[in-house]
Amino acid sequence: MTKPESGAQQVVVVTGAASGIGAGIARHAHARGMAVVLADIDAAALDRAAAELGGALTRVTDVSDSRSVHVLAELAFDSFGRVDLLFNNAGIMRAGFLWKLGESDWDAALGVNITGVVNGIRAFVPRMLDQGGAGRVVNTASVGGFAPGPMMSPYSASKFAVVAITECLQMELSMIDAPVSASVLAPGPVVTSVFDNPFGAVSHPAVDRMVTQMRELLDTDGLDADTFAELVFAGIDRGDFWLAPQGEHLDTMVRQHTATILERREPVIRQSFR
């Protein structure tokens, strides 16, 4: 586990902390006695999440805006003097037929899911390196970042990118023998609102089948955010680079995708959609 040299209270920053997985991580960190900084674009939900913790430092943040993330970093370092754990967790889904998704869908998904992670790394890592001592940056990808899903091209592309960026980050941190490490967080199905209405007004029988399968998967296999957070922290305690609390979902994705490449087959429509 990451520990400040002094043994002082650990400081955790979570983006997308107002709901779902981010809120679960914030609750778990708070329950462990860590100081938590909550960031989200949704001000009202952020206030509710902070109130649930009995008060926490919050900052309305748009992770796709580098200035906004730099202000968040300044707030965290000015308030606590250090950051031990950064969760670049905020993420959004844009779904639909690739040829029908608009520029704004692509800009939104890539802006939050990729640029948001890069902004977090650029704003926090230099200061985490300067502060000395161990630290960790956890970037939320998805098991869908290991095998693309139809109708989810911006999401798939962005989550593949998060995996690659995090692997690069870890390699570069180890090149300089930094005490700071990185982790890829690859959730399988977790019961949150991220997939509530992924296809909007898109209407097609193939889409209806996908929505039904996604709902069934969430009902049968979906973890609640608190159980998920507990498993995430267990992985962090072990120092895992690959944080995959639902390892069977990740392994299925990796095997299927790798097989299509090694066997030079066409991409298959997988049975699991995240």
User: Which positions touch ligand NAD (CB under 6 A)?
Assistant: 15-16, 18-22, 40-42, 45, 61-64, 89-92, 112, 140, 142, 187, 189-190, 192-194, 274
Question: Minimum distance from CB of 10 to ligand NAD (Å)?
Answer: 21
Active-site residue, 155 included: yes
Q: Alpha carbon of 27 to those of 6, 141, 160: distances in Å?
A: 24, 20, 28
- Residues 6 or more apart whose CB falls under 8 angstroms from that of 268 comprise 256, 260
Q: Alpha carbon of 273 to those of 68, 178, 194, 215: distances in Å?
A: 32, 36, 13, 10
Question: Minimum distance from CB of 149 to ligand NAD (Å)?
Answer: 11
Question: Minimum distance from CB of 132 to ligand NAD (Å)?
Answer: 29
Strands (E), 21-178: 35-40, 57-60, 85-88, 135-140
Map residue 17 onto helix, strand or coil: coil
Question: Minimum distance from CB of 179 to ligand NAD (Å)?
Answer: 26
Question: Minimum distance from CB of 64 to ligand NAD (Å)?
Answer: 5
* Measured torsion, CA atoms of residues 83, 35, 30, 32, in degrees rounded to the nearest 10: 80
Map residue 127 onto helix, strand or coil: helix
Nearest to 116 by CA among 66, 161, 185: 66
Nearer to ligand NAD among residue 134 and residue 253 (C-beta): 253
Tell me how far apart the alpha carbons of residues 116 and 178 are, in angstroms, rounded to a whole number.
Answer: 23
Nearer to ligand NAD among residue 13 and residue 134 (C-beta): 13
Query: Considering 146, 155, 195, 233, which one is annotated as catalytic?
Result: 155
Which residues are tagged catalytic?
Answer: 155
